[in-house]
Amino acid sequence: NAGVTQTPKFQVLKTGQSMTLQCAQDMNHEYMSWYRQDPGMGLRLIHYSVGAGITDQGEVPNGYNVSRSTTEDFPLRLLSAAPSQTSVYFCASSYSISPGNEQFFGPGTRLTVL
Amino acid sequence: DQQVKQNSPSLSVQEGRISILNCDYTNSMFDYFLWYKKYPAEGPTFLISISSIKDKNEDGRFTVFLNKSAKHLSLHIVPSQPGDSAVYFCAASARSMYSGGGADGLTFGKGTHLIIQP
């Protein structure tokens, strides 16, 4: 099992550009989510999905879109990148949405917006 | 307003001694608490969790204690080893009416950087 994979590992964008951060998991997990981590901060929830075709907003959803067409994939789209979106992005998945369920995290994508 | 607080940005402990990492929370709806460990350039990895109906959970060298009345939890690592040097995040989850009683994500503290001195 590869677990949770994220691509790319690093990305530099110019203000206004768009891009998609990829996330995939091979554990047949129902629940997937995206977090961002800024320096000196904990991880903050951007969007999450409780199953294919179902997504919802987290704490900091503005400027990001998600979709969940398959169980395995949960891409995060930046529509028009801004310097405030410079961050490290982590994708996570877990077997179910039950509180306390262990979430497995990917290695992260480090994004810089100039 | 921060709902999960880790007030110590860093903690230095001698190898072999006990490491105690603290976490406070403000949201009474949280019913599960989790600790994650993170090495540089890697994603967080799950360490241990505790349900709000318990006051202690133990897994090998790691024990988490929960004091609901004080809205405080702590992670004890005994004995501390060099490989324990990492950032530790406290996280909490609550049942959400918007996801049919499931959790709608984790709320994280800012983390504590644990340094184990040889």
The per-residue pLDDT string of chain A (114 residues; one tens digit each, 9 = 90 and over) reads 789 999 999 999 999 999 999 999 999 999 999 999 998 888 999 999 989 999 999 889 999 999 999 999 999 999 999 999 999 999 999 987 777 778 999 999 999 999
- pLDDT of res. A96: 79
Cβ-in-10-Å burial (0-12, 13-18, 19+) of B79 comes to middle
Chain centroid to CA B91: how far? 6
Low-confidence ranges of chain B (pLDDT < 50): 100-101
**For B29, nearest residue in chain A (alpha carbons):** A99
- pLDDT of res. B104: 66
Peptide bond into B79 cis (omega under 30): yes
Which B residues 58-117 touch A at CB under 8 Å? 89, 91, 93-95, 98-100, 102-111
Q: Which residues of A touch B10 (CB under 8 A)?
A: none
Give chain A's count of helices (H) and strands (E). 0, 11
Token digits of residue B103: 């959790």
Strands ordered across the beta sheet of A4-7: A4-7, A19-25, A76-78, A64-66
- pLDDT of res. B103: 54
